[in-house]
Amino acid sequence: MDSLYKMIEYGIYSAAILLILVGLYGALTKKSLIKIVIGLSIVDAGIHLLLVSIGYLKGGTAPIFSPGYEDKADIMVDPIPQALVLTAIVIGFAVTAVALSLVIRLYRHHDTLQIDDIKNLKW
């Protein structure tokens, strides 16, 4: 059982960290605005996964006191990361929406999505 947990631990944490790194790589190296936005969203997804998984408890159950679970508080997983992730997801959505609308504006203005063709301002 313990080795199973070890495997899940490495699996989940590496998956989440890999997502963060893949997203960062995409956001930093890609030339298309849409791909940059996608990269930023992937970073967000990885972070949310990481945040939820640190609240997990071995053999835990959802932190909901449904009938029959009123006295099971000691085996409930941590509810705080879940609440934080809820907030973070909504904020991530808002940022992505604004980013996409900016992409639309840039496309309207320049007729292209390649950042090499858009650079009017110096970095």
Range 29-58, binding other proteins (CB under 8 A):
29, 33, 36, 40, 43-44, 47, 50-51, 53-54, 56-58
Residue choice 15, 32, 38, 60 for contact with other proteins (CB under 8 A): 60
Residue choice 3, 14, 112, 113 for contact with other proteins (CB under 8 A): 14
CA triplet 43, 46, 50: central angle to 5 degrees? 140
CA triplet 30, 35, 36: central angle to 5 degrees? 70
Measured between alpha carbons, how far is 75 from 30 in angstroms, rounded to an integer? 44
Stretch 73-102 residues interacting with other proteins (CB under 8 A): 73, 76, 78-84, 86-91, 93-95, 97-102
Residue choice 61, 104, 112, 117 for contact with other proteins (CB under 8 A): 104
Residues 6 or more apart whose CB falls under 8 angstroms from that of 42 comprise: 19, 20, 22, 23, 26
CB of 111 to other proteins, least distance (A): 8
